[in-house]
Amino acid sequence: MSFKTILQVLQPAPFIDPIEDKQTVDRDYKRWRWRIFYSMFVGYMLYYFTRMHFVFAMPGMIEELGYERAQLGILTSILSISYGVSKFVSGMIGDHSNPRYMMAIGLIATGIVSLFFGLSSTLLFFALFTLLNGLFQGFGWPPCARYLTHWYSHNERGTWWSCWNISHNIGGALIPIIVAFVAYYYGWRFGLFVPGVLCIIGGLFLINRLRDTPQSLGLPSIEEWRDDYSAGEKKVKSHEEKELSTKEALFEHVLKNPFIWLLGIAYLFIYVTRGAFNGWTHLFLIQEKGYDQISASYSIFFFEAGGIVGSLFAGWFSDRYTMGRRGPVNVVYALALVGATILFWLVPNGHPILDYMSVSLIGFLVFGPQMLIGLAAAEIAHKKAAATATGFLGLIAYLGNSLSGYPLGRIIDDWGWEGFFIAAAVCCAMATLFLIPTWGATARSGKDLETKAA
């Protein structure tokens, strides 16, 4: 397949003639919304099978290959930076691409890279395949942002977005158990082969299941079908919707919006915290508290399980009780996260139930703002710039996540785990400070910008 053919495949699907029969429209809309939802849910869950899976193979890599924690922490930083850059670039591309093929190609490619990572033994090749993995991982989020803003309207989007968002919690909860189990019995290399194969199969599944916008199937826009227009949004007929240029999406609706910058900086600190507990809790419990590899992997399961509940509650609560304002929920979650971090630090040795409960609480409080900050950015920007806005935030977020790799590994090596928990608590406090000014921000905050582009 030539590069030109690939570009043609990635072009957005054209609008087709609208379906006139209302009953057919209602039936098809309901059917396609569920099909789109479960397909991208499964697809994004599988992306997490190869996102940070090498972390759970690290004990075996350290034992067999003799690497230090800080050296392997470099891989986390490389992944975070390459994924963040890819997420930003892919976000701009994603607003002008067919999400069906973009999401599938990325998933297949990251599965192939996982197989090569498992065949490697030197830090140079680990770094190379980690870099490639991060670049292809960036293909996952923008299609989902496009789907969630084109198939689900404003007053229901918090609930749908939060339900979709738990896909990565489920993926994140399953993969440490899968990798740890396979690595324990068959070696760390096979622990990386299994998720790679699953992602390749998953990519083929996405090609079969997904489609593009409602209009590409002859359906009206989601706003027209549900008569649900966010504040400041003009009622444009479905088949008269216009795509924004890349310049309009990036500059007019993202870079010139101060709320996007506030959300982005807060996101950075949230992702340092998320990366810290997702990447180092497993090793902390093994080296500091004497857990075996399987028992330590359960902590990540509880971290992600707490995230599922926290994400669902945050989306539902912001839809139902704060009238679509995501700011109040973000601030409360981030502030409580400071206390939860300190609580986990203070749990004495020999109390695994308290450890698991503390990690679950941290997951609950991390994934609320992790989900809602992205949603707030998509709503504050513009429907046609949703992938660009969330991609821009993704770049900032994963620069933050990169700080949880080598820098935190260096802190642990030089100042011990006490330094780790102090750094995590400070990041939670900083996130809270930058979220406070966004308390009252809604889609209404982008009204003037949306009017320009309408």
> Residue 450: pLDDT above 70?
no
In-domain check, residue 256: yes
In-domain check, residue 13: no
Cα atoms found within 13 Å of the Cα of residue 312, Cβ hemisphere only: 12
pLDDT for the residue 183: 86
pLDDT for the residue 453: 35
List pLDDT tens digits, range 267-283. 999 999 998 998 889 88
> Residue 319: pLDDT above 90?
no
- Cβ atoms of 426 and 343 closer than 8 Å: no
Which helix (H) or strand (E) element contains residue 449? helix 447-453
d(CA 174, CA 182): 12
> Residue 68: pLDDT above 80?
no
- Cβ atoms of 284 and 417 closer than 8 Å: yes
> Residue 104: pLDDT above 60?
yes
d(CA 417, CA 397): 23
- Going by the DSSP 8-state scheme, the letter that residue 238 receives in this structure is G
> Residue 398: pLDDT above 90?
no
- Cβ atoms of 388 and 253 closer than 8 Å: yes
In-domain check, residue 143: yes
> Residue 444: pLDDT above 50?
no
Measuring CA to CA, how many Å separate 324 from each of 153, 316, 334, 433? 12, 10, 18, 21
DSSP letter string over 280-335? HHHHHHHHHH---HHHHHHHHHHHHHHHHHHHHHHHHHHHHTSTT--HHHHHHHHH
> Residue 448: pLDDT above 60?
no
pLDDT averaged over every residue in the chain: 86
Which band of pLDDT confidence, cut at 50, 70 and 90, is reported for residue 59?
A: confident
- Cβ atoms of 250 and 393 closer than 8 Å: no
Please tell me which residue, 127 or 407, carries the higher pLDDT value.
Answer: 127
Number of domains in the chain: 1
Average pLDDT value for residue range 164-183: 85
d(CA 233, CA 213): 19
pLDDT for the residue 447: 44
pLDDT for the residue 191: 92
Please tell me which residue, 297 or 114, carries the higher pLDDT value.
Answer: 114
pLDDT for the residue 237: 52
Question: For a pLDDT cut of 70, what percent of the chain falls above it?
Answer: 91
Q: At what angle do helices 258-289 and 386-402 cross, to 10 degrees?
A: 40
In-domain check, residue 56: yes
Which band of pLDDT confidence, cut at 50, 70 and 90, is reported for residue 407?
A: confident
- For 97, residues 6+ apart whose C-beta sits below 8 A from its C-beta are 10, 11, 12, 142, 143
CATH number at residue 270: 1.20.1250.20
Please report, in angstroms and rounded to a whole number, the separation of the first and last CA atoms in the chain: 38
Please tell me which residue, 107 or 73, carries the higher pLDDT value.
Answer: 107
- Range(s) of the domain holding residue 282: 21-223+246-453
> Residue 369: pLDDT above 70?
yes
Would you tell me how many other CB atoms lie within 10 Å of the CB of residue 24? 12
pLDDT for the residue 282: 84
pLDDT for the residue 234: 52
pLDDT for the residue 454: 36
pTM, two decimal places? 0.75
- For residue 243, the SS3 value is coil
pLDDT for the residue 425: 95
Tokens 């902390």 belong to residue = 284
In-domain check, residue 234: no
Q: 62-76, 136-150, 289-303, 309-323 — which is least confidently predicted?
A: 62-76
In-domain check, residue 124: yes
pLDDT for the residue 98: 93
List pLDDT tens digits, range 228-267. 775 545 555 555 456 666 777 787 778 888 889 999 999 9
In-domain check, residue 233: no
- Cβ atoms of 336 and 348 closer than 8 Å: no
d(CA 442, CA 263): 12
Would you tell me how many other CB atoms lie within 10 Å of the CB of residue 247? 9
Question: For a pLDDT cut of 90, what percent of the chain falls above it?
Answer: 47
pLDDT for the residue 274: 92
Phi, psi (degrees; rounded to nearest 5) at 139: -80, -10
Q: 295-299, 331-335, 350-354 — which is least confidently predicted?
A: 295-299
pLDDT for the residue 446: 46
- Cβ atoms of 9 and 101 closer than 8 Å: yes
In-domain check, residue 5: no
List pLDDT tens digits, range 117-149. 999 989 899 999 999 999 999 999 889 989 998
